[in-house]
Structure 1
Amino acid sequence: MASTQNLRLAACTLAFATEIAAQSINGLGVSGGDGPRGGIGDGAHPVQTAQSFITDALIPVPNSNTTRQLAQGPAPVLSTSNATANCSEQRIVVVDSCSGARQQMLGFGHSWTDSTVSTFNSLEPDILDQLMQELFGQGGNNMGFMRHTMGSSDLSGAQQYSFDDNGPAYNDGEPDLDLSHFTLGPDGTAMAQMLARMGQYKGDVFLYGAPWSLPGWMKNNDLFIAGIENNYGQQYPLLNNSFNINLIPQAIDYYLKYIDTYLSEFGVSINGLSMQNEPLNYQGGYPTMYLEGADEAALLNQGLGQALLDRGVLAMAYDHNTDQPVYPYRVLQGAPDLIRSVAWHCYQGPAPNYTVIEDIYRAFPNAIQFMTECTSYLPTVNTDSFQVAQSFMLPVQHGASGASMWVLATDPDFGPHSPYGGCNGCQGSIIVNSSSTYTKMHDYYMVGQFSRFVRRGSVNYRVLQGIEGNGFTSDQFYILAIQNPDKSWAVIFMNNVGSDQEVALSFTGQSGQVWHGTIPSASVVTWLLPSQQILGQTNGTHPKSSLPPYPYGNTTVPALTGTFGTGNMTATPLGVCNITVPTTTSSSSSTSVTALPVPDTTHSFPSISVTETASTA
């Protein structure tokens, strides 16, 4: 007869398997095809000891090294519930590791734009190689969820283009009904070549594309609504910049030629397709196009959906703000067998409402969802910025499987960008200053707090206690608890409550074990916590014979003083306070660890160089 503990464990395992089945990413291809391999926590490179990494919210003066940026800090301490110490207030954090499994994760990343490609191509070859390692290498940000512009966008400079303009300029071409004039052109080719280069550094990137507009001749440019004027006495412009549904066959051919050309000529696999970036945005000044939700569904139903399925490409609906959730409903309802993904942006004011992700999940439990665009607009030094953390953590808390920021790189003047409209204050995570220098900006380090430690195929778990606030409140303490493929945990905290927070973290499936640590005020901190298998070892040889014996000691972390990453952080032993640990699920023995380096140094995270600006010197 099975023991009570085994019965509880079996029930917990069953709940886990049932929960994640509806939010699985299985079957999604990635460029390179090597799945979850590629970084600490991926199964082949397990987390061996508790670790902590921190980035301050304060935006420093570039190269000043005045803040902690992906700095290694004091590891959290593992204790039992009856340990005591003199502590003041503490924040109790409880993760439902038994029945709280939610969605699988693809990962985190950024957006390739023409501004990124042009500035990167201005770098000397060895400098570009170094930068690509810092972005995609396993010792760098290791980004695995990347967006790119299909044709021009507002970050493309003055020259607007599509892949089939068929005329003297964008919006001036003649209809090309058999797409005989389709060509990537110099800018599209440069983009494809750069994406192929990305694959040399990161083999398991999920790459998805989005057009800001289809070719001008596919739009209703010659149609006007006679007699209808707005309050400014101008003609209503909607039909003047909207998709012409009579050209659905040509639009389908356009999407597929793009996907097939990238693969056949450059070896680049497109893994996802958004049919239109911001389909409800039809303002002028840079490429845009109005595309009705019913028309997205019609594109899928009339051939695009099946063609994407045949190519292993994920169709992604909507790709716009959270204030119009009826749009993706129309697409999902209109083409239920051909689409299973929704993309969201962050620009709803005064704050995005990501609860719509949960609403979609309840109606369409197989729909995978993402936050695909948000930007840090005109960031100011010596002010706090949580833009990346807020844009990543809130969507994932509500069910998103990945997130990407807008604008990977620009020049110092936020460009090249369109002089006629769009974003003239979107700063890249990378600023390219000259052919031999670039600067990693604040967003680079904030993105790294997620992309370095969350592996593809990991699972997000429900946090039962400890989260405070939301996008509409001034005080916020956000938490993500993600279990990586090696069964370790990446627990990410965002502290915007105005004071340091003493945290006591427990898991419902790990009765009697409590992790203690301090989350400094105005910071984002990631804890890496070993799996129960690692914690359950006693002195002896790890099952992976290539790893050394792993000793366990007391719960005390000695005082650490020194420089970690790009900022100074002096650490003192952490106190342990009385807490009540949930005991509703299976119990396991309490084991305490002494912080040790990650044995596999190839996949550890060394201190970031104090010099943020790379040079040939």
Structure 2
Amino acid sequence: MRPTAETLCAILSRRTQQCGPRGGIGDGAHPVLTAQSFITDALLSTTPNSTRQLAPGPPPALLQAYPSSTSSCTPRRDIIIDTVNGAQQEMVGFGHAWTDSTVSVFNGLDNATLAQVLEDLFGQSGNNMGFMRHTIGSSDLSGEQYTYDDNGPSFNEGEPDPDLSHFTIEPYGSAMADMISKMGAVKGDVFLFGSPWSYPGWTKYNDLFVAPNLNVPNGGSYNILNNSFNPAFIPQMVTYFSKYIDAFRTHGVQVNGLTPMNEPLNYQGGYPCMYLSDVDAANLIAQGLGQAMHDRGVIIMAYDHNTDQPVYPARVVLGTRGEGALTDAAAWHCYASPVANYSVMTDFKTMFPNTLQFMTECSNYLPQSGTWNFEVASNFIPPVTHGASGAAMWVTATDQEYGPHSPYGGCAGCLGSIIVNSSNTYTKTNDYYMVGQFSRFVRRGAVNYNVLGDGNEGDARGANQFYTMAVQNPDGSFAVVMMNNWGSDQDVVLSVGAGYWQGIVPNATVTTWLIPAEGLWSSQGTAPYGNTTQTGGGGSVSTSAVCVTMASSSSSSSTTSTTALELVPDTTHTIASVSTTAVGAKKQSG
């Protein structure tokens, strides 16, 4: 059953911002008028600007009829968008994650360069990202370890603070809130959700102290290996999260979603982390957190961990009065071994059809020059086809050494969209362009549709994949994102409604087609039958497609990994600072 716009907005309307599709091509104000194609090569090149990066490609051509099988020059791939019965979930958006590393390197930019990088990330002339995560307290992408109420000499070593009189988001939380508010000035309809990596140490079971005033024994075997939440502190954590939401609001930032714990089953890292059982998570939500967040316009997103434990979010939903009560969404990560099994999201959707789902974290770790890299697309498309309304990669920006990051562990090689090189230069990585293949063209309120035929073949366990997702934007157009890791260019015939569109999806690329609303196919400059030959006479016309040609993919030059890892292996687009007055007028290409 297709969820209506009211269903999505009923969940999101608890927040203060307007619920609705706006802000970019495919919304009501910026309709798609002609067929278009955009291509990003998967090759991480060692030569700057030698690959296609969100580059316009030959648009698909509208056919008069389904082409004969003899007309294909390359293997034919028939992709069918089920526009009759295939409408699925509505979309919120795509994006990245705000971390202390991102805030730190962005604060080191001069004003003009910062304005430009924010436009590149969030502006309608840039990636137009609309689904963003941020860290509550420190993470592994933080140079310092902290929470918002450590109340002691250092992280994880404080005394209990039963009335949270020592709560403060200073200095790191306020720096993050101030930076995020600048994002909101560029793009006002971002869905922002927060995730903590750890609660204050005094709320955990460990062996550092006993809390006699609260009559709460806080003893344990070891403060890392027994790094788990003590549910006696549920009232304090409800207040903690409420104070955090309120504090960010004073900085002009409305948080829209909350996961009670990042990776709640991960508790042995040297960086901030904590074990939070599904029972304790449900009790925390049911005993005050759910209502406190809903009162503040914040949805609750359960789990925030890998696909190998799908029972966790199901138990949280059931333990918080069931679907439609206090838990609004399930959040998933990509790190299950050997690969993420996103099909569990379809099972979850069957059980909880009106609960939102998101892919909230996946990282691109130490990508190597000279190789193909599909990390973004292979963890954006499958979650959407299995029910996700949005997806976010891990870490928006770092320095050239993938930091600042925790010295004690965590992701010391996570690539983001942006590498800051100096106070007035930065690099757009290949991940920037890969995320843009989704965030630039999929609007909030778009509806995902089932893709049939040859649209999805292979999976992450094998060497070859062809993935397709198709969403209908609010203007009636379709954005069709295809990942071709099949080993050869693919001659695609796309069935949309009553028409057929044909074009080549180059090998080793992510390619997005924009198909106008059907009523515009012949009236707004889209040449119908533009890729056909007509034969016959006496009024009898038959149509067959001609062979579509395209220049060889620049990604085909190398598939061999290099032995050495550079700090920034895919420096493809370095931006120099421009004057403040020129920022608004001068837009960088790409």
User: 5+ residue gaps in structure 1?
Assistant: 1-17, 225-233, 538-549, 559-574, 579-609
The whole-number CA distance in structure 1 between the counterparts of 2:188 and 2:66 is 46
Written as runs of structure 1 = structure 2, the 5 A alignment for 1:360-375 is: 360-375=348-363
Alignment counterpart, residue 529 of structure 2, candidates 551, 555, 576 = 555
Q: Does 1:20 align with 2:6?
A: no
The whole-number CA distance in structure 2 between the counterparts of 1:21 and 1:143 is 23
The whole-number CA distance in structure 1 between the counterparts of 2:67 and 2:263 is 53
The whole-number CA distance in structure 2 between the counterparts of 1:53 and 1:31 is 34
Given that 1:23 and 1:368 are in contact with CA atoms closer than 8 Å, whether structure 2 keeps it comes out as no
Q: Does 1:221 align with 2:206?
A: yes
Question: What residue is the counterpart of 2:465 in the other structure?
Answer: 476
Given that 1:151 and 1:163 are in contact with CA atoms closer than 8 Å, whether structure 2 keeps it comes out as yes
Q: CA deviation at 1:172?
A: 1.5
How well do the aligned residues superpose, as a CA RMSD in angstroms? 2.1
Aligned residues: 526
Q: Does 1:505 align with 2:474?
A: no
Question: What residue is the counterpart of 2:56 in the other structure?
Answer: 72
Alignment counterpart, residue 312 of structure 1, candidates 292, 297, 307 = 297
Q: CA deviation at 1:330?
A: 1.1
Written as runs of structure 1 = structure 2, the 5 A alignment for 1:312-461 is: 312-335=297-320, 336=322, 337-461=325-449
Amino acid of the structure 2 residue aligned with 1:261: A
Amino acid of the structure 2 residue aligned with 1:394: P
Change (3 A) 1:245 1:521: same
Amino acid of the structure 2 residue aligned with 1:368: L
Residue by residue, what CA displacement relative to the aligned partner does 1:543-563 show, whole Å, maximum 9, x if unpaired? xxxxxxx346453369xxxxx
Question: What residue is the counterpart of 1:52 in the other structure?
Answer: 37
Q: CA deviation at 1:20?
A: 2.1
Q: CA deviation at 1:34?
A: 6.2
Q: Does 1:534 align with 2:481?
A: no
Question: What residue is the counterpart of 2:274 in the other structure?
Answer: 289
Change (3 A) 1:295 1:363: same
Written as runs of structure 1 = structure 2, the 5 A alignment for 1:266-285 is: 266-285=251-270
Amino acid of the structure 2 residue aligned with 1:338: L
Change (3 A) 1:473 1:552: closer
Change (3 A) 1:280 1:83: closer
Alignment counterpart, residue 229 of structure 2, candidates 233, 243, 264 = 243
Q: CA deviation at 1:82?
A: 5.3
Residue by residue, what CA displacement relative to the aligned partner does 1:449-477 show, whole Å, maximum 9, x if unpaired? 00000000000000111121122222100
Q: CA deviation at 1:279?
A: 0.3
Question: What residue is the counterpart of 1:123 in the other structure?
Answer: 109
Alignment counterpart, residue 485 of structure 1, candidates 443, 462, 474 = 474
The whole-number CA distance in structure 2 between the counterparts of 1:351 and 1:403 is 17
The whole-number CA distance in structure 1 between the counterparts of 2:513 and 2:465 is 18
Question: What residue is the counterpart of 1:176 in the other structure?
Answer: 161
TM-score, L = length of structure 1: 0.82
Given that 1:341 and 1:369 are in contact with CA atoms closer than 8 Å, whether structure 2 keeps it comes out as yes
Q: CA deviation at 1:349?
A: 1.2
The whole-number CA distance in structure 2 between the counterparts of 1:239 and 1:461 is 45
Amino acid of the structure 2 residue aligned with 1:488: S
The whole-number CA distance in structure 1 between the counterparts of 2:365 and 2:239 is 36
Given that 1:23 and 1:103 are in contact with CA atoms closer than 8 Å, whether structure 2 keeps it comes out as no
The whole-number CA distance in structure 2 between the counterparts of 1:239 and 1:298 is 23
Q: SS in structure 2 opposite 1:412?
A: coil
Residue by residue, what CA displacement relative to the aligned partner does 1:503-557 show, whole Å, maximum 9, x if unpaired? 00103xx23x1100000000000000000122264xxxxxxxxxxxx34645336
Question: What residue is the counterpart of 2:577 in the other structure?
Answer: 616
The whole-number CA distance in structure 2 between the counterparts of 1:472 and 1:22 is 36
The whole-number CA distance in structure 2 between the counterparts of 1:190 and 1:35 is 29
Q: CA deviation at 1:91?
A: 0.6
Residue by residue, what CA displacement relative to the aligned partner does 1:335-387 show, whole Å, maximum 9, x if unpaired? 02211200000001110001110111111111100000000000111100000
The whole-number CA distance in structure 2 between the counterparts of 1:191 and 1:318 is 24
Q: Does 1:576 align with 2:545?
A: yes
Change (3 A) 1:173 1:431: same
The whole-number CA distance in structure 2 between the counterparts of 1:616 and 1:506 is 45
Given that 2:94 and 2:390 are in contact with CA atoms closer than 8 Å, whether structure 1 keeps it comes out as yes
Residue by residue, what CA displacement relative to the aligned partner does 1:148-197 show, whole Å, maximum 9, x if unpaired? 0000000001x211101111211121111000111001111100000111
Q: SS in structure 2 opposite 1:25?
A: helix
Given that 1:23 and 1:104 are in contact with CA atoms closer than 8 Å, whether structure 2 keeps it comes out as no
Amino acid of the structure 2 residue aligned with 1:476: Q
Q: CA deviation at 1:312?
A: 1.9
Q: Does 1:108 align with 2:94?
A: yes
Given that 1:24 and 1:103 are in contact with CA atoms closer than 8 Å, whether structure 2 keeps it comes out as no
TM-score, L = length of structure 2: 0.86
Residue by residue, what CA displacement relative to the aligned partner does 1:64-100 show, whole Å, maximum 9, x if unpaired? 1111000001000001225567423211111101110
